[in-house]
Amino acid sequence: MDPSSNFNPHSNPSQLKITDLRVARLVGQPMDCNVLRLSTNQGITGYGEARDFGSKTYTLMLKSRLLGENPCDIDRLFRKIKQFGHHGRQAGGVCGIELALIDLAGKAYGVPAYQLAGGKFRDKILCYADTTSSPDPTQMAAHLQRRIDEGFRFLKMDVGIDLLRDTPGALVAPPGMLDNTDLMHPFTGIQITDIGIDALCAYVAAIRDAIGYDIPLAADHFGHLGLESCIRLGRALDQFTLAWYEDMIPWQFTDQYVRLSRAVNTPLCTGEDIYLAQGFADLFQHRAISIAHPDPMTSGGILETKKIGDLAQEHGIAMALHMAGTPIAVMAAVHCAAATENCLALEFHSADLPWWSDLVEGTPRPLVQDGHIHVPDTPGLGITALNEDLMRQHLNPNDPDFFNPTDTWNSESSHDRLWS
């Protein structure tokens, strides 16, 4: 075989330069994101996705810092722009750029993204299916059974105080606090009573009776309860052997997670709002959680999330990946999960959208098969093109631009240096 057949004749990686960055905003569940397109002087295009929840500014402000740069310098460019990300959803632009850089580098070198992260530990990624909530446990069990029938072997549902709003005596709360979603859990004063705990236990018991115990079932969205109520509720739900309790309290309070982890017997999971590996360090060092739950769209992209997984592994902690986006973000997470030894599963939010897999070209239809996504061996993220006609159908009606020119951002600048 001719050795030259292994190389991309249209790419000279050492001379590759970024020439343009454009963005299109998509809306609709589960997507509220900006799709990124990085262009180069060699005609190679890289795709990324930013979970900026509407603002293109977090992404476009980075354009002037990337023009003329070689996208194969992934680590150097990430270090250059990572200061513009933060916890929560403010890192979307930085993370989306990182995905596009890896996509471009993979295409330039002719290797899949997981190879740039050190190689793969698995050929397919187990997906856990988030499922639309229902206050009726019989209906909720039917929703979960449908997921099982679709081939999913790891499930997640919401179990929280929203289910108790019509249950007299279930909650104690100061006036207006049940509708205040902007106040952190320790400051709401909301408490759950024995009546409320019994009602939630009956809800979960009915679901477990229906679907059994052979399939992992995780729980999320408990509500803005204080630590003491979380402990009481967690102890009561321990009997159902749930896969994890997710985000019971804000991730910032390591000492509260330590207290909670010592009080309950179910694994604790958090991390979708944490940016960079150093953001997880305190939780890991204190063994405050059992499962790290980063989202590559907020944690720093593929390589940074791989670092989070490796750091978690050093402390005996597993990793699952939070994900709610387009196939671009999901494929990035697939490559990250493949390259991280201690990754349990990848969240999948789009099982009820038959058109979702068709947003991109080059990946299987449907993307999730038998509850798994196969890790592609094609270059970059494995996406060859976007289905632009379909994407246009899901543009934000208030922001219908579709990869329009962004030249006004070419010269934006500031004094970025963090030292004197």
pLDDT, tens digit, 9 for 90 and up, residues 365-403:
999 999 999 999 999 999 999 999 999 999 989 889 999
Q: Where does the pLDDT of residue 7 fall: very low under 50, low under 70, confident under 90, or very high at 90 and above?
A: low
**For the domain with range 3-111+388-409, which CATH number is right: 3.40.630.30, 3.30.420.40, 1.20.1370.20, 3.30.390.10?**
3.30.390.10
> According to the model, what pLDDT value does residue 31 have?
77
Q: Where does the pLDDT of residue 321 fall: very low under 50, low under 70, confident under 90, or very high at 90 and above?
A: very high
Query: Residue range 32-44: average pLDDT?
Result: 95
Q: Which among 264, 208, 259, 260 is positioned nearest to 235, based on CA atoms?
A: 264
pLDDT of 280 > 60? The answer is yes
Q: Where does the pLDDT of residue 6 fall: very low under 50, low under 70, confident under 90, or very high at 90 and above?
A: low
> According to the model, what pLDDT value does residue 64 have?
97
Tokens of 393: 């159908």
pTM: 0.95
> According to the model, what pLDDT value does residue 10 have?
57
Tokens of 49: 């996705």
Query: Residue range 66-81: average pLDDT?
Result: 98
Query: Residue range 179-202: average pLDDT?
Result: 96
Q: Can you tell me the distance from the alpha carbon of 22 to that of 63, in angstroms, rounded to the nearest whole number?
A: 9
Q: Give CATH for domain 116-386.
A: 3.20.20.120
Which of the pair, 3 or 75, is modelled with greater confidence? Answer: 75
Q: Could you tell me what percent of the chain has a pLDDT over 70? A: 97
pLDDT of 14 > 70? The answer is yes
> According to the model, what pLDDT value does residue 8 have?
60
pLDDT of 41 > 80? The answer is yes
State the DSSP H helix or E strand holding residue 108, giving kind and residue range, or none if neither: helix 92-109
Q: Where does the pLDDT of residue 415 fall: very low under 50, low under 70, confident under 90, or very high at 90 and above?
A: confident
Which residues touch 307 (CB under 8 Å, ≥6 apart)?
Answer: 277, 300
> According to the model, what pLDDT value does residue 99 have?
98
Q: Can you tell me the distance from the alpha carbon of 132 to that of 92, in angstroms, rounded to the nearest whole number?
A: 25
pLDDT of 2 > 80? The answer is no
Tokens of 414: 């500031």
Is 32 within 8 Å of 51 (Cβ atoms)? yes
pLDDT of 172 > 90? The answer is yes
In the chain, residues under CATH classification 3.20.20.120 are 116-386
Q: Can you tell me the distance from the alpha carbon of 120 to that of 114, in angstroms, rounded to the nearest whole number?
A: 6
Q: Where does the pLDDT of residue 163 fall: very low under 50, low under 70, confident under 90, or very high at 90 and above?
A: very high
> According to the model, what pLDDT value does residue 32 have?
85
- What's the chain's average pLDDT? 95
Tokens of 176: 């207006």
Q: Which among 383, 270, 338, 302 is positioned nearest to 127, based on CA atoms?
A: 338
Strand pairing report for 45-50 and 33-40: antiparallel
> According to the model, what pLDDT value does residue 198 have?
98
In the chain, residues under CATH classification 3.30.390.10 are 3-111+388-409
> According to the model, what pLDDT value does residue 29 have?
74
Q: Can you tell me the distance from the alpha carbon of 72 to that of 387, in angstroms, rounded to the nearest whole number?
A: 26
Q: Where does the pLDDT of residue 199 fall: very low under 50, low under 70, confident under 90, or very high at 90 and above?
A: very high
Q: What helix, strand, coil percent values describe the chain, rounded to 5?
A: 40, 15, 45
pLDDT of 318 > 90? The answer is yes
> According to the model, what pLDDT value does residue 5 have?
53
* Cα distances (Å, whole numbers) of residue 325 to 48, 164, 329, 335, 345: 11, 29, 6, 15, 16
Burial of 185 (0-12, 13-18, 19+ CB in 10 A): buried
pLDDT digits (tens, 9 = 90+) for 215-273: 999 999 999 999 999 999 999 999 999 999 999 999 999 999 999 999 999 999 999 99
> According to the model, what pLDDT value does residue 9 have?
57
